[in-house]
Amino acid sequence: MRYLITGGCGFLGSNLAAEVLRNGDELFVFDNLYRTGTENNLTWLKSLGKFKFYHSDIRSYNDVENVILDSKPDVVFHLAGQVAMTTSLDNPRLDFEINVIGGNNVLEAVRKFAPNAIVTYSSTNKVYGDLEWVEYLETKSRFIAKGYEQGFDENVPLNFQSPYGCSKGATDQYMLDYNKMFGLKTIVFRHSSIFGGRQYATADQGWIGWFVKQAIDIKKGLLKEPFTISGTGKQVRDVLFADDLINCYFSAIRNIDSTQGKAFNIGGGYNNSLSLLELFGELENSLDIKMDFTRLPVRQSDQKVYIADITKANEIFSWAPLISKATGLQRMINWVGTV
């Protein structure tokens, strides 16, 4: 099998790329090395095996067409993207070019030159908007979404909000439409927060990694001032460890007859949900530290609660996460400690 991974030097892309190499399949990696840490991931991948790397830009149709013609992929994992909500608010045009034009470049080049390829798209729960119409209860440590305690399924109405929500949502819908209109074998994964090795987290993206880094810095005595959080800290997300994401992608493509043309909510589910305050509690226990923080105003367009209902993925391609949030967190502490 020939795998092309756009954004293949990023966090998720490099984890998927490593799995392709482990399986002995042919790998083609496309990335413009925009994200911090991508050069390290590229070096790491080179240490694992042979593949072809294209230092190219997803915004350029020519770049994308060239790689599709050259790699003749059986599978395209399309992950290249502008990934931070905050950046999309600072520079909505950049966000649009990378996420919408980039996504359409992939679809068009595949439609013309590799129409039998499977294309997966890494979308986001932000396609459901801020979910401000839900009623929220508040406990000491977290918000609870009344009526959606076990999570939000794919029947929640789409509601694109923020440039990031619009740009990811547009390509999410184009992916499904190219299946209906042109018969492309597309699959959409709407992700919750994912964490794990090869993630170079920032304050704007990768919250588990970011706060684990604050905790490790406290442990090492490097953080003298309290760190900041946005909002109350009671906001909740379901978290998924990267290894479970790899299983998800490969299971879905093995079952392409039943997965194509569909969108799936993919996250850790209710059992792996966590608020910021609960995360801090876990880190304090695990590292024997005290996490002091100060509060900033709530971030624009921040969901109070998002937990994925992952029943559809389980029913259609028998996928469920296997790594608990506690195990994942311990592995994340180990990874961040080495970076």
Ligand X SMILES: NC(=O)c1ccc[n+]([C@@H]2O[C@H](COP(=O)([O-])OP(=O)(O)OC[C@H]3O[C@@H](n4cnc5c(N)ncnc54)[C@H](O)[C@@H]3O)[C@@H](O)[C@H]2O)c1
Sites of contact with ligand X (CB under 6 A): 7, 9-13, 31-35, 38, 57-59, 79-81, 83, 98, 122, 124, 191, 193-194
Residue closer to ligand X by CB (options 45, 145) is 45
Q: Which is nearer to ligand X, 32 or 260 (CB)?
A: 32
Output 144 or 308, the one with its CB closest to ligand X: 308
Please give the Cα distance from 235 to 306 (Å, whole number): 8
> Which of 174, 176, 1 has the alpha carbon at shortest distance from 72?
1
Q: What does the DSSP 8-state code read for residue 97? A: I
**Radius of gyration, CA atoms only, the chain:** 19
Q: Tell me how far, at minimum, the Cβ of 98 lies from ligand X, in Å.
A: 5
Give the bridge partners for 191, in sequence order.
Answer: 124, 266
Would the CA dihedral through 10, 36, 233, 219 be positive or negative? Answer: positive
For residues 314 and 106, give the distance between their C-alpha atoms in angstroms, rounded to a whole number. 28
Round to whole Å and give the CA distance between 272 and 326: 9
Residue (of 41, 48, 51, 49) closest to 2 by Cα position: 51
Active-site amino acid positions = 164
Closer by beta carbon to ligand X, 127 or else 289: 127
* DSSP letter for each residue of 253-288: HHTHHHHTTEEEEES--GGGEEEHHHHHHHHHHHHT
Q: Measured from the CB of residue 266, what is the shortest distance to ligand X in angstroms?
A: 9
**Among residues 12 and 283, whose Cβ is nearest to ligand X?**
12
Strand pairing category for 118-124 and 75-78 = parallel
When the beta carbons of 39 and 292 are compared against ligand X, the nearer one is: 39
E strands present in the chain: 2-6, 26-31, 52-55, 75-78, 118-124, 136-138, 143-145, 185-191, 193-195, 227-230, 236-241, 262-266, 273-275, 293-296, 305-306
Nearer to ligand X, 14 or 179 (CB): 14
Q: Which residue has the tokens 């406990």?
A: 139
Q: Give the separation between CA 238 and CA 189, rounded to whole angstroms.
A: 15
Q: How far is the CB of 144 from ligand X (least distance, A)?
A: 22
- Residue 221 tokens, joined: 């005595």
* DSSP character at residue 150: T
Q: Least distance from C-beta 273 to ligand X, angstroms?
A: 14
Distance in Å, CB of 239 to ligand X, minimum: 9
Which DSSP letter does residue 81 get?
-
Min separation Cβ 79 and ligand X, Å:
4
| Spatial CA neighbour of 240 closest among 168, 332, 304, 163 | 332
